[in-house]
A and B are shown apart, each in its own frame.
Chain A
Amino acid sequence: MQNARDTFYVTLRDRLAAVNPARTMVLRGVTRPGVLVEENELASAAQPANVFCLHWTGLSVNAQGALPLVAMSCEIQYATDGDAGNGGMDRGRLLSAMDAELVAAVSAAPQNTVKMNYVASAGGSGLAPVAMATNVFWGDVVFGAAVVNAERLERVATVEVFCYQEAGEL
């Protein structure tokens, strides 16, 4: 399951970066695309603005087939205060831009990709990730209502992500 989560994150990150290369963030001193997986970072209650934050929530497994079919819910939280230079009066437009970027990244064909194992390539080992035998695939993005939190506009979108648990995979 972790391989599928990592694969979906990397795919979404690369697609979002292609849609809007200017959406970047600085995390632990490194400039990177403006998307992160919350559980892979230092625990923090703060929601960074203008960044997509992935949270893995729901999980179910159907073990009746030849391979167990895993369904995972990925909640994508994002928020914006608007541009300070505009007094925040463009926060609706900026949230709308993030909505559009997410649609473009999630709904672009194909909505599947080969599952990759990134374990060996983590930590700057220089090793390439290993392609696995099945695909990760996902549905369309479902948007929650925009929420006003003081001067900030927030939204949570959800994508259902599916994969098959391969033999010997943990």
Chain B
Amino acid sequence: MSTTTTAVGVVGAVAPVTRRVRAYFAPVDRVAGVPTVFDAAQMGTFALSAPPAPWVDLGWCSGFVRKSATKVVTLTTGAPAVVQSQVRTEVEATVQFEFESWGKLQLALAAGSQQMNLLQTAVNAAANGSGGVAGAAVPLVAGSTATSLNVGAAAARFQVGELVAVDEDYVAQVGFVGSGVSAAYVSSPASVANDINYVRRVSLNVGRVVAIAGGVLQLGGALLAGAPPSGMQVSPLVGFVDREGGGFFQEWSGLFVMDGEQGDRVLYYYPRLQAMQGSAEMVKALAGPLEQVALAGAFRALPVKDANDGETVLCFRSYLPGAMRAV
């Protein structure tokens, strides 16, 4: 028995028309040097509001500009010299844009270096630019999830609306620290004054308390590192701070998606991005004295090897054509 397939015509391929760029974050395993892989062949059609794990939505961004700084030069022979071939002498790529929202993750990525949490200070703590010595943290008890923190009777110390950092104590670790995402690099315990709260000070594992009941702090969103194990502690914080200077480079896997109006999609996947400038803002005038301040980020792409052919590459651009478009 034969199968008949009805032939249908294709529509002319037109240039994508897009209106906005959606950005997504995924962590890079800094110890192993392994980025999060995005496979457009398997995951390219995800709904913008529901990225595949472990990708995290960074929201819309504007002013998206990517640049290739790859240098191609000619090889010439003879007199007069005649171009015989070309070679690449340098491969480099950068991307810059502005985040439309200010969140911990956006601030941390756009900052040139460590991005710290302003932990609530201990009583009479000496003043310090990135926050004084923090007050005592509250230990988690068993039963916490990515969106609820079981702190038992200590829940009375928290208030609805409070920001909290959830992470392990600093106990002389050397190397990358921070749960879920490497948030800083510690070269020696002395360099961080052996501060038991140092990991929570730099951690990206933060949330906002939206309800308190039965000794459990309910968070407004899931923690980046997922369900915290017992042994981690909770520190209340008042905000975030970054600095010009510092020795650390945040590194992340970036994904940028442009949805076309004809059902097509362009995806830019950067396996490894590092900030290439210090903290900066882009000011957009509204009216009168009012200005909207967007977080400006500029990033340099670092290389990975493509498993298909072993080529060293910096980024991947994928195009998923709309249905029945000519190719």
> Which residues from chain A sit less than 8 Å from chain B, CB to CB?
65-67, 69, 111-112, 133-135, 137, 139, 162, 164, 166-167
* CB closest chain-A residue, reference B262: A135
Chain A residues within an 8 Å CB radius of B263: 135
A-B contacts besides A65-B14, A65-B15, A164-B262, 19 pairs, CB < 8 Å: A66-B12, A66-B13, A66-B14, A66-B326, A69-B14, A112-B262, A133-B11, A133-B324, A134-B11, A135-B261, A135-B262, A135-B263, A137-B17, A139-B19, A162-B17, A164-B11, A164-B14, A166-B11, A167-B12
- A111 is contacted by which of B13, B15, B19, B326 (Cβ under 8 Å)? B19
Chain A residues within an 8 Å CB radius of B19: 111, 139
Chain B residues within an 8 Å CB radius of A66: 12-14, 326
CB contact under 8 A between A67 and B261, given known A111-B19, A133-B324, A162-B17:
no
Chain B residues within an 8 Å CB radius of A69: 14
Please determine whether A67 and B11 come into contact, CB atoms closer than 8 angstroms: yes
Q: Report how many A-B pairs have Cβ atoms within 8 Å.
A: 34
- A162 is contacted by which of B12, B13, B261, B324 (Cβ under 8 Å)? B261
Chain B residues within an 8 Å CB radius of A133: 9, 11, 324
- Residue among A133, A164, A166, A167 with the highest chain B CB neighbour number at 10 A: A133
Q: How far is B324's CA from A164's CA once the two chains are assembled, in angstroms?
A: 14
CB distance from B168 to the nearest CB of A (A): 40
Q: How far is B15's CA from A83's CA once the two chains are assembled, in angstroms?
A: 49
Q: How far is B18's CA from A135's CA once the two chains are assembled, in angstroms?
A: 13
Q: How far is B16's CA from A112's CA once the two chains are assembled, in angstroms?
A: 13
CB distance from A72 to the nearest CB of B (A): 15
CB distance from A142 to the nearest CB of B (A): 15
* A–B pairs, 18, beta carbons within 8 Å: A65-B12, A66-B13, A66-B14, A67-B11, A67-B12, A69-B14, A111-B261, A133-B9, A133-B11, A135-B261, A135-B262, A137-B261, A137-B262, A139-B19, A162-B17, A164-B11, A164-B14, A164-B262
CB distance from A96 to the nearest CB of B (A): 19
* CB closest chain-B residue, reference A137: B261
Chain A residues within an 8 Å CB radius of B14: 65-67, 69, 164
CB distance from B266 to the nearest CB of A (A): 16
Chain B residues within an 8 Å CB radius of A164: 11, 14, 262
CB distance from B180 to the nearest CB of A (A): 29
Chain B residues within an 8 Å CB radius of A137: 17, 261-262
Q: How far is B326's CA from A67's CA once the two chains are assembled, in angstroms?
A: 11
* CB closest chain-B residue, reference A67: B12
* CB closest chain-A residue, reference B261: A137
CB distance from A147 to the nearest CB of B (A): 21
Chain B residues within an 8 Å CB radius of A162: 17, 261
CB contact under 8 A between A112 and B261, given known A133-B324, A162-B17:
yes
The 7 closest A-B pairs by CB, nearest first: A66-B12, A137-B261, A133-B11, A67-B12, A112-B261, A65-B14, A135-B262
